[in-house]
Amino acid sequence: MKKILVATDFSVCAGNAMQYAMEIAKMLKIELCAIHAIGSTEGIFNNTYNALYIEDYYNNKRNALATWAATFTNNNDFKEVTVSTVCEVGTLSTVISKYIQTNPVEMLVMGTMGSTGITGLFGSNASMMVEKTKIPTLIVPLESKFSKNPVITLATDFSSKLSDEDANALNELIIALGSEKLNILNILAGSDFKINEEGENNFRKKINKVELEFKYIAESKTTDGIMNYIVSNQTDILCVVKHHHNIVYRIFNRSTVNQVMNKSIKAILVLHE
């Protein structure tokens, strides 16, 4: 991995996500960039006088972002992490997408309010970026804190094939974090099932840096099955593979993503085919 990108609106949940990302950047020994989007009409208010001084407003925002980032870089625990800042005008999704196109970003990190039930600005933006981005995206609820040697669970229906790029990223993350195993969770609608040997073998070929433990759970609703599992079993990071046609991805469509993120108190890593 070369760089982690962290989106911020200076909120508490963004700060929590930044803290989480700094820990990962430290473990992976890579750079981090904090990015903030300024609304196109922000600071103007349809007033000619204000418009004349809009560049001052933008500079104040850039300085505010640098000051915010410094609260993390001034921590001795993160003295080895290189942090840069980017503050651009536009919607958050546009600013992030533009940056990703021209920089070697390997992971996007965004915070949400999680199970507090407050969706807010970042709830909807996280949902949008999950749909649009093609890089691993880590969604960090406010309750989720970084854990050394975390337990990682990957939920799948075995129909999706993890991309080589994201498989490498996951392998690299597992090694850096020192996770002892990766749980592979399959939610099934009925109680009658058999082991998916082909699916298991495909994952063993892709994820080969850690022990894999396959778990099959009977549950009528995929979302409920996943949420019940991470509540009743130790999981620090939940991974899903983004695929428009499989059952797991449907929990991340526009109509239900906020519900999932608001319920989860664990970080969610969205990977891609």
Tell me which H or E stretch contains 94.
Answer: helix 92-102
97: nearest Cα among 68, 63, 135: 135
pLDDT in tens, 9-40: 999 989 999 999 999 999 999 999 999 999 87
Q: What is the pLDDT of residue 72?
A: 96
Q: Which of 121, 125, 186 is nearest to 158 (CA)?
A: 186
pLDDT at residue 215 greater than cutoff 70 = yes
Is 146:177 a contact under the CB 8 Å cutoff?
no
Read off the pLDDT of residues 239-273 as tens digits, 9 standing for 90 and up. Answer: 887 765 454 444 444 443 455 556 677 898 888 77
Distance, CA of 152 to CA of 181 (rounded, Å): 7
User: Could you check whether 3-141 and 152-272 share the same CATH topology?
Assistant: yes
Checking if the pLDDT of 190 tops 80, the result is no
Give me the residue spans of the domains in the chain.
3-141, 152-272
Mean pLDDT of the chain: 82
The pLDDT assigned to 249 comes to 47
What architecture (CATH level 2) is domain 3-141? 3-Layer(aba) Sandwich (3.40)
Residue 90 phi, psi dihedral angles, 5° rounding: 140, 180
What percentage of the chain carries pLDDT values higher than 70?
Answer: 83
According to CATH, the topology of domain 152-272 is Rossmann fold (3.40.50)
| CB proximity list for 121: less than 8 A, separation 6 or greater | 9, 11, 92
| Tokens 């204000």, residue located | 50
Q: What is the DSSP string of 24-81?
A: HHHHHT-EEEEEEEE-TTTTTTT-HHHHHTHHHHHHHHHHHHHHHHHHHHTSGGGTT-
How does residue 123 score in pLDDT terms, banded at 50, 70 and 90? low
CA Rg, the chain, in Å?
19
At 48-104, the pLDDT tens digits run 556 567 888 888 899 999 999 999 999 999 999 999 999 999 988 899 999 999 999
Helix boundaries (H) for 133-218: 164-177, 197-206
Question: Which pLDDT score is estimated for 166?
Answer: 84
Q: What is the DSSP letter of 158?
A: S
